[in-house]
Amino acid sequence: MPSPVADSMQVVEITRPGGPEVLRVATRAVPQPKPGEVLIRVAAAGVNRPDCLQRAGSYAPPPGASDLPGLEVSGTIVRLGEGVTQWKEGDQVCALTPGGGYAQFCATPAGHCLPIPRAWNMIQAAGLPETCFTVWINVFERAHLTPGETLLVQGGSSGIGVTAIQLAHAMGNRVFATAGTPEKCQACVDLGAERAINYRNEDFVEVVQQLTAGQGVDVILDMVAGDYVARELASLREDGRLSIIALLGGSKAQIDLNQVLRRRLTITASTLRPVFSEICFTDCSCAYRIRKNSRLRSGSSLMHCRSASLRGDSSADRSIAVSTINSTTSGQNTCRSRRRVFMYAKISNFATFSAHGKNGAPFRN
């Protein structure tokens, strides 16, 4: 028998484009999980930049998604859609959602759910999926960062930035990061960056060349774009990869394609928010387990996230320990020999430009 669920729920909706004052509490019908989905009783919802952009009227939800903000939640599964076998009612999860997280109940694809890490509470877990999925897909899946390679993270003190620094550091990579104040630069170093570059008074191109003996870095994670792109290409080594995830500096760039061809560079970009028709509703391709009290290299690193509880707790910056994650494989999408982060579903809303990769072949997973 399905668990008792009320017919209506409280939500936070956007009344018109604007600032935080346009948000209001309203009552709506509880969504029903479609085939391949689960219904989650929401304990907490993450606060992300796309939520703020949607509230301002500049980031519309995709067709078929809820008009409510909220792209990640934590809570308890109370209903299963047709065909869902990997979860059961009562399971506590955190999840990536296409929208609708600012509500007491939220429906999302079962493949977007992750178990709550041991020793984490619901508020901490609500800040986990968005940043970790973003970094893993764009740095390790799309840009193919491998142990021993070098990563430059633009905006190292952002939510995405601090996650990228820690994951790459834990995987055995040299990490450089940019930030805008001495305090933010120090925070990047504390999280695992070998060197933080203050972009207000340092040229990251020159610093990167100095740090790499003129070779450049293997991968750049970029959320600026615009006129940064040409400078980033100059910061890559041969066969380097540039992964763009945001356009804070503008959507247009002028680049020298001869440089891309001659040095075999790859430019790739993606958005994480899925379109329903592009979601893969397969069973998990990576099974995983989280070791209790595990360590990242020499001690537990910290991941800073921002989450808001629908129980009435105020929004707060929180520091949470990142656990080491081991994985095994099943199905067609096999894991590499290195450890991988929890990945249940891949989201195919991306674009790639690549001259050619190593040995003249395009880069592949």
Answer yes or no: are the C-beta atoms of 241 and 264 closer than 8 Å. no
| 258 in a structural domain | no
At CA 62, angle to CA 58 and CA 68, rounded to 5?
70
Q: Is the predicted pLDDT of residue 294 greater than 80, yes or no?
A: no
For 169-185, the pLDDT digits (tens) are 999 999 999 999 999 99
For 301-334, the pLDDT digits (tens) are 233 333 333 333 333 222 222 222 222 222 222 2
To the question of pTM greater than 0.75 for the whole model, the response is no
Answer yes or no: are the C-beta atoms of 43 and 126 closer than 8 Å. yes
Query: In this structure, which amino acid lies at residue 279?
Result: I
Beta-strand ranges (E) seen in the chain are 8-14, 23-29, 37-46, 72-80, 92-96, 105-109, 113-115, 150-153, 174-179, 195-198, 217-222, 236-244, 266-270, 286-290, 302-309, 316-321, 325-329, 350-354
Collapsed DSSP state (helix, strand, coil) of residue 217: strand
| 290 in a structural domain | no
| 32 in a structural domain | yes
Look at the chain and report how many structural domains it folds into.
1
Q: Is the predicted pLDDT of residue 272 greater than 80, yes or no?
A: no
Find the CATH number of the domain harbouring 93.
Answer: 3.90.180.10
- Residue 353, CA atoms < 13 Å, CB-side half-sphere: 9
pLDDT score at 343: 30
| 326 in a structural domain | no
| 262 in a structural domain | no
CA pair distance 305, 221, nearest whole angstrom: 19
| 173 in a structural domain | no
Domain hosting residue 113, numbered range: 8-130
Answer yes or no: are the C-beta atoms of 143 and 268 closer than 8 Å. yes
Whole-Å CA distances, 191 to 178, 185, 249, 318: 13, 10, 25, 15
How many C-beta atoms surround the C-beta of residue 194 within 10 A?
16
Q: What percent of the chain has pLDDT above 70?
A: 74
pLDDT score at 274: 56
For 67-119, the pLDDT digits (tens) are 999 999 999 999 999 999 999 999 999 999 999 999 999 999 999 999 999 99
| 135 in a structural domain | no
| 340 in a structural domain | no
